[in-house]
């Protein structure tokens, strides 16, 4: 399976009388960049959420958030800290005496201290309830990631097919370059031979031994010149890189970084080919290859 790093998924779930929406968005990134945003009562499960995501997604900018859609109407119980209210009464009585205040300390004065109040939140849960919530969250997160991966897979297949179409074009180009290489070799050899004949015509020699020595030396120079112009090695390596890119795409998995390396190798070989050949047709084909490599690089940025 080959995966794109672009995707989105959304689910809703119920916990008691509360309903929530959980959403995840995925974009391309060099590594796994994970952001989790949850309501306060889900904070204890943030580490679980991260672990569940990291177990299934290896690369991409992942943004997951949980939004409360409707809350329970249960009224929170108000509690009064009796020890604190007694302490507050003693302090106020002492100050009243020291300052000579005649008014008695009343309940209204004591209730002005916010520290004496506490609330038993409606969403406070027992250990059993918390474990049930964790299991429900695990289940819905798994389904959410299934949806996300399915979308990333669908997009990944589309990208793979587009990239393979470009690779097929590379194969056709490679075939034309092979044919052009033979034309260049034959043309260069013929050109050198004609120059040699002109030299012998301009400076004829009756000495057969000298002529044979000159022809031998000239043959060496021809071979050296043809070797400098020959692009056989570059074409062989280019074909190997094209086949490697095709294999990586067909095998699937985490291909992004492998492809990035292969595109560098392809680009290096095309540059060497263009510089070495000194042929207009090959240079034109090399430009087309460079454009194709850049298209491969841009589209592969979305692959995991």
Q: Which position has the token pair 């071979």?
A: 223
pLDDT tens digits, 229-245 = 667 788 889 999 999 99
pLDDT tens digits, 96-133 = 888 888 888 887 777 777 777 665 544 455 667 788 88
Query: Bridge-partner residues for 60, per DSSP?
Result: 32
Q: What is the mean pLDDT of the chain?
A: 83
pLDDT at 77 over 50: yes
Percent of the chain scoring above 70 in pLDDT: 80
pLDDT at 181 over 80: no
How would you classify the pairing of strands 77-80 and 7-15? unpaired
Which string of b and e fits 122-134 if b means at least 16 CB within 10 Å? bbeeeeeeeeebe
Confidence of residue 214 (pLDDT cuts 50, 70, 90): low
State the DSSP string of the chain: -B-BS-EEEEEEEEETTEEEEEEEEEE--SSEEEEEE--GGGGGGHHHHHHHHHTT--SEEEEEEEEEEE---PPPEEEE-HHHHHHHHHHHHHHHHHHT--SPP-HHHHHT-GGGEEEE-TT---HHHHHHHHHHHHHHHHHHHHHHHHHHHHHHHHHHHHHHHHHHHHHHHHHHHHHHHHHHHHHHHHHHHHHHHHHHHHS----HHHHHHHHHHHHHHHHHHHHHH--HHHHHHHHHHHHHHHHHHHH-BS-HHHHHHHHHHHHHHHHHHHHHH--HHHHHHHHHHHHHHHHHHHHHTTB-
pLDDT at 141 over 50: yes
pLDDT the model gives residue 211: 66
Percent of the chain scoring above 90 in pLDDT: 39
pLDDT the model gives residue 275: 80
pLDDT at 221 over 80: no
Lowest mean pLDDT among 32-46, 183-197, 264-278: 183-197
Confidence of residue 206 (pLDDT cuts 50, 70, 90): low
């Amino acid at each position: 399976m080959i995966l794109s790093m672009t995707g989105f998924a959304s689910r809703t779930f119920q916990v008691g009388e509360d309903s929530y929406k959980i959403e995840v968005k995925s974009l391309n990134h060099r590594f796994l960049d994970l952001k989790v945003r949850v309501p306060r009562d889900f904070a204890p499960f943030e580490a679980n959420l991260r672990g569940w995501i990291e177990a299934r997604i290896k690369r991409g900018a992942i943004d997951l958030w949980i939004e409360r859609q409707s809350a329970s109407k249960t009224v929170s119980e108000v509690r009064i800290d009796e020890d604190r209210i007694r302490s507050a009464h003693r302090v106020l009585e002492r100050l009243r005496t020291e300052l000579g205040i005649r008014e008695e300390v009343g309940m209204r004065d004591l209730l002005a201290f916010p520290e004496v109040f506490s609330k038993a939140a409606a969403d406070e849960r027992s250990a059993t309830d918390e474990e049930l919530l964790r299991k429900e969250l695990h289940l819905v997160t798994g389904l959410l990631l299934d949806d996300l991966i399915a979308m990333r897979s669908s997009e990944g297949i589309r990208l793979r097919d587009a990239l393979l179409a470009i690779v097929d074009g590379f194969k056709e180009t490679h075939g034309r370059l092979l044919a052009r290489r033979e034309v260049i070799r034959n043309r260069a050899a013929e050109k050198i031979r004609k120059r040699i004949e002109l030299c012998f015509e301009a400076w004829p020699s009756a000495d057969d031994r000298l002529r044979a020595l000159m022809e031998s030396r000239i043959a060496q120079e021809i071979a050296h010149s043809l070797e400098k112009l020959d692009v056989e090695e570059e074409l062989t390596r280019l074909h190997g890189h094209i086949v490697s890119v095709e294999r990586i795409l067909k095998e699937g998995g985490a291909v992004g970084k492998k492809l990035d390396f292969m595109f560098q190798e392809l680009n290096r070989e095309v540059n060497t080919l263009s510089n070495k050949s000194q042929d207009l047709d090959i240079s034109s084909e090399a430009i087309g290859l460079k454009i194709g490599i850049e298209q491969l690089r841009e589209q592969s940025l979305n692959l995991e």
